[in-house]
Structure 1
């Protein structure tokens, strides 16, 4: 009596007494599925940049408009705060500012 032959993953030889093949990776020798239709297009027939400019413009606008209310108000506030601080510093270091606060 002979023990059952081991099924090697990825083996290409016949398995069992009916000549079933296990097949390589992805093709395990089962019945082919029905009702699945797959179409492919050759790589040299494809246009990889089709609509890329259009999508880039509108996707950028969508992302910008979604984030502008989180970014713009703090930037505006800190811009005006920095402008005020710079002007105040210039005034305090000017002749009039020193005369006003260095009595």
Structure 2
């Protein structure tokens, strides 16, 4: 049995997909970057709002709401971008070819 994080993968499945461990590592790193971005983005936004609140007073709960929403949006963007890189890695490891660049296709 091959262990990926907390789950176990059968040896036959792991043998069919030799890049499984690299993909799982990449995806784990993507999620950790997303969590780090959520915390950092929320804290930075909250700090900036505390600075701005000195000049323009407004209720405290709006500061928390805006900080969490901003951190969540930044986290979503980072996690999505990193997960796309992991998908491209998985395709490369499975097929040996890089996925086509969508931006260069004249039909898209």
Larger radius of gyration: 1
User: Which structure is richer in relative contact order (CA contacts within 8 A, separation 6 or more)?
Assistant: 2
Length-normalised TM-score, structure 1:
0.31
More helix by percentage: 2
